[in-house]
């Protein structure tokens, strides 16, 4: 009879009803919680089993870390196909705008000072309007000291700067090579468009609209011998983040991954030699695999903290469901390493002395 009733319901509602029934059955069996009401369609899971997050670290019962700086990967979709990408297009989900704002408000109340929007490619969603509205909300409504974006830059237009530039503190553009052939090998090629030429155009717009300019580079097998001194000094970013190529199981390594990044991996010695070659670049901020792995607070598209301590991304429950304090215990976040790697710096453009 129940199947007959469900047959007359829209598919989304039918799934929600089934999810609710599974929740009620679980509650009756274990007697641990009251009956569970159906979740909104955007928050239902692919099955009826509750997610079991990774156990918290032993010291997390004593001191819950503050989410001072958060990286919100609100989309996994991207128009590039970088071979080493560690946050791949495994879903097409994006939270409704108002729910994303609610989550950001929760984070601010828990102590967030800096939000970084990333992906995927943040400017794919609504041609940059989605991330633009979040940037403005975080600066105007939440009054956050720092709002930043990491982008490949290919979809950013000057009209976006005109509309939202005043609310953005830092724009970080991913650029792994100043040789366009190498960019194509890596997966940053996009038809006839030149990634490096676009980088210079974005640098100029950042000057004109008073946005601090930053460059992120992933050092890998294809660019590890490159000398970038001259180009970086000419672009003069506030920070040049240099990452060692990192393997994450299920993302760019392993059977269920969408990328095979093994061919991009370099040794610690190779990475150190690259850093030594660029030691005279004043804005260089190096990050080895050891520094990267546990020193970032990463929120996925469902606003779940991602724990990378075991070499893969294991999600907590969503802060929208359980709040920040309960979710962050399962994040694997190493607050000491965050501070050691220079995670907290002058990140508000109001406090920077820059030649716009």
E-assigned strand segments in the chain: 69-73, 114-118, 146-151, 170-174, 212-219, 239-244, 284-287, 298-299, 304-307, 314-318
CA 3 to chain centre: 41
Q: Are 144 and 347 in contact (CB under 8 A)?
A: no
Q: Quickly count: other Cβ atoms within 10 Å of residue 254's Cβ.
A: 15
DSSP annotation of 41? G
Phi, psi (rounded to 5 degrees) for 41: -55, -35
Determine the distance from the C-alpha atom of residue 329 to the mean position of all C-alpha atoms in its chain, rounded to a whole number: 19
DSSP secondary structure string, 132-151? HHHHHIIIIIS--SEEEEEE
Q: Which residue's entry shows tokens 């460059």?
A: 215
| 315 bridge partner residues | 306
Measured between alpha carbons, how far apart are the two ends of the chain, in Å? 69
Residues marked as catalytic: 78, 82, 85
Specify the pairing of strand 314-318 against strand 304-307: antiparallel
């Amino acid at each position: 009879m129940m199947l007959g009733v469900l047959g007359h319901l829209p598919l989304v509602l039918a799934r929600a009803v089934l999810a609710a029934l599974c929740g009620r059955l679980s509650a009756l069996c274990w007697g641990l919680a009251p009956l569970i009401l159906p979740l909104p369609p955007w928050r239902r899971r692919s099955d009826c089993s509750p997610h079991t997050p990774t156990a918290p670290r032993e010291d997390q019962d004593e001191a819950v870390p503050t989410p001072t700086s958060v990286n919100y990967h609100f989309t996994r979709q991207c128009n590039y196909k970088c071979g080493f990408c560690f946050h791949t297009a495994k879903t097409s989900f994006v939270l409704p705008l108002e729910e994303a704002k609610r989550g950001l408000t929760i984070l601010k109340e828990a102590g967030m000072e800096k939000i970084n929007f990333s992906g995927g490619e943040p400017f794919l969603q609504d041609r940059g309007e989605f991330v633009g509205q979040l940037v403005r909300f975080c600066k105007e409504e939440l009054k956050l000291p720092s709002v930043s974006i990491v982008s490949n830059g290919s979809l950013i237009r000057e009209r976006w700067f005109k509309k939202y530039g005043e609310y953005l503190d830092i724009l970080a553009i991913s650029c792994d090579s100043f040789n366009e052939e190498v960019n194509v090998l890596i997966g940053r090629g996009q038809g006839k468009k030149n990634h490096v030429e676009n980088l210079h155009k974005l640098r100029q717009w950042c000057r004109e609209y008073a946005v601090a300019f930053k460059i992120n580079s992933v050092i890998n097998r294809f660019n590890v011998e490159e000398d970038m001194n001259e180009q970086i000094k000419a672009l003069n970013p506030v920070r040049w983040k240099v990452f060692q190529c990192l393997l994450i199981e299920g993302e760019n390594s392993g059977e269920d991954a969408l990328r095979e990044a093994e061919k991009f991996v370099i040794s610690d010695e190779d990475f150190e030699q690259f850093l030594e070659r660029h030691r005279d670049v004043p804005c260089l901020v190096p990050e080895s695999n050891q520094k990267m792995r546990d020193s970032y607070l990463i929120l996925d598209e469902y606003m779940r903290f991602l724990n990378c301590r075991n070499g893969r991304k294991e999600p907590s429950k969503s802060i929208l469901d359980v709040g920040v304090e309960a979710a962050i215990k399962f994040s694997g976040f190493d607050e000491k390493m965050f501070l050691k790697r220079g995670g907290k710096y002058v990140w508000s453009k109001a406090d920077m002395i820059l030649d716009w």
